[in-house]
Amino acid sequence: DTGVSQNPRHKITKRGQNVTFRCDPISEHNRLYWYRQTLGQGPEFLTYFQNEAQLEKSRLLSDRFSAERPKGSFSTLEIQRTEQGDSAMYLCASSWTDRTNYGYTFGSGTRLTVV
């Protein structure tokens, strides 16, 4: 297993365009998380899935953001009508979460620049 894979690594887009990022988690992991990280800050929680069910969305996630995890495998995060404030690193993480294990594995992220 090669860990959590995110594509693309970098994305430059014009304001107003739509973008989609993909995350492939570790195959046996039941949970998948999306976080956003801006320069000099810690990651901020956006949303998470248990298998294919999206269980929680942060108030940070405006209506322009949508995430899916069809069949409980890979996940996509789409941002519609991008704004300059959306520029950030988008991190995906997965975990096998049960009563004894809580640890995440993060991917290397997708860096979004909105110009």
Q: Which residues bind another protein (CB under 8 A)?
A: 4, 31, 33, 40-45, 48, 50, 55-56, 91, 93, 95, 97, 102-109
CB of 66 to another protein, least distance (A): 18
Of 6, 12, 4, which is closest to residue 115 (Cα–Cα)? 12
CB of 19 to another protein, least distance (A): 19
CB of 17 to another protein, least distance (A): 24
Encoded amino acid at 113, one letter: T
Residue 68 or 83 having the CB closest to another protein: 68
CB 112: neighbour CB atoms within 10 A? 21
Residue 43 or 82 having the CB closest to another protein: 43
82 contacts: CB under 8 Å, gap ≥ 6 = 13, 14, 15, 16, 17, 18, 19, 64, 112, 114
CB of 37 to another protein, least distance (A): 9
Residue 80 or 105 having the CB closest to another protein: 105
Which residue has 């495998």 as its token pair? 73
